[in-house]
Amino acid sequence: MTAPNAGTTIRPLDGIRVIDVSSFLAGPFCSTQLGEFGAEVIKAELPDVGDALRRFGSMTEAGVTLPWLSECRNKKSITLDLRKPGGAALLKQLVKDADILVENFQPGTLEKWDLGWDVLHEVNPRLIMVRISGFGQTGPYRDRPGFGRIGNAFGGLSFLAGYPDRPPVTPGSATIPDYMAGLYGALGALLAIQARERTGEGQFVDIGLYEPIFRILDELAPSYQLNGFVRQRMGPGTVNVVPHSHYPTKDGRWIAIACTSDKIYARLAEAMGTPEVAGDGKWGHISARDRDRAEVDRTVGEWTAKFTRDEVLARCEVFQVPCGPVYGIDEIFEDPQYKARENIKYMRDDRVGELAVPNVVPRLSQTPGSIDWLGPELGEHNGEIYRDLLRLTDAQMDKLKEEGAI
């Protein structure tokens, strides 16, 4: 396995220790973000089995999947069975000197193993616990299992994805809620760390997979409460603004154009050679464009279809009309903006050679994050954590192995 990058750059979370007992994606993505900015992330996995993410997605010849390599980077892997008394005892030892614990079991699971919040908080009153589940720790649905697809559906996003005369479709990816919950989990952990600086005490962060999805649906809730408006599927269109969609080009590609104000539409109309329809013209105000939405979109589509995508992009740039190509991943790899921003990171790994993965977000000017290594081998850091950190003897480790605890 490739060794971590050597360097002296200070990272914001240097000195923070995270214990990750979560699996699959939401919890692991939370701790990955913390690890990218300096936290020491110790990932606990079932002995001989490991995280399910090791077997989800495209499998490499090395026997690990691409999601595992990309999304569990910068972590130290140990084997640990929390169901065994010895495993539960080891977790309590790890928690004593940890700052954050991340878990995404169904509510009540850790409590069943005597590892719930009350127990771990007593072990370490400064501990911050991130708890991600399908529906959160409370409410009538707390015991229901949940995955990303359920989060998209229950959160209200799937209902909006697709065309009005067809069934709802997957809104881009079924795993959006997992990533969003992981993102909010990391944010919650950082907020809790900040609060701990003032109170000296930890707390737990409670997130249901559907909640980040519901949170990002702009005016959906207040519009319904105030006006009784139930937004329906609109294909590539957008409520309240038009033209704001995807339009075809002469070379068989697509371009996104976003006119979010009357002024921007006036610039587009000028670019199209029809300035008379904007301003005091028939489509100068959003209410008129919304009324004639289909016709407005048709005229824009007819205009873009006369040119190649690059020609439309160039003309929109001249008139300062927000637009962009609808990219496939192959085009992303060739785009100069992605290259200039180093959004794609090429990592060397002894198991798979060179592998391209999404780079760290956000970008900090003085204390940037980094990718030090890709997803580790199962139990790769048992010696470092159990012998060096917890000071277990070889005899103690052998006994724990016999018990199936590690």
Tokens at residue 1, please?
């396995």
Write down the pLDDT at residue 226. 97
CA–CA separation, 102 and 127 (whole Å): 11
Map tokens 């999304």 to a residue: 71
Per-residue pLDDT tens digits for 298-350: 999 999 999 999 999 999 999 999 999 999 999 999 999 999 999 999 999 99
Domain locations along the chain: 17-215+339-403, 244-248+254-325
- Cross-strand partners of 133: 208
Give helix then strand counts, H and E, for the chain: 17, 11
Residue 19, phi-psi category: left (phi > 0), alpha (psi -120 to 50), beta (remainder): beta
CA–CA separation, 124 and 19 (whole Å): 13
Whether 297 is a known active-site residue: answer: no
Write down the pLDDT at residue 8. 57
- Whether residue 289 contacts residue 243, with contact meaning beta carbons closer than 8 Å, is answered with yes
- What are the distances in angstroms from CA 184 to CA 31, 188, 265? 11, 6, 35
- Does the structural domain 244-248+254-325 have CATH classification 3.40.50.970? no
Three-class SS of residue 14? coil
N-to-C CA span, the chain:
21
CA–CA separation, 40 and 75 (whole Å): 7
**One of 20, 178, 297, 372 is an active-site residue; which one?**
178
Residue 391, phi-psi category: left (phi > 0), alpha (psi -120 to 50), beta (remainder): left
What's the fold here for domain 17-215+339-403?
Rossmann fold (3.40.50)
Residues in the chain predicted with pLDDT less than 50, given as ranges, are 1-7
On the 0-12 / 13-18 / 19+ scale of CB atoms within 10 A, 35 is buried
Write down the pLDDT at residue 9. 80
CA–CA separation, 51 and 57 (whole Å): 13
Per-residue pLDDT tens digits for 348-394: 999 999 999 999 999 999 999 999 999 999 999 999 999 999 999 99
Residue 257, phi-psi category: left (phi > 0), alpha (psi -120 to 50), beta (remainder): beta
- Cross-strand partners of 79: 45
CB atoms within 10 A of CB 271: 20
Q: What is the pTM of this model?
A: 0.93
On the 0-12 / 13-18 / 19+ scale of CB atoms within 10 A, 258 is middle
CB atoms within 10 A of CB 61: 7
Give the phi and the psi of residue 246 in degrees, each rounded to 5: -110, 135
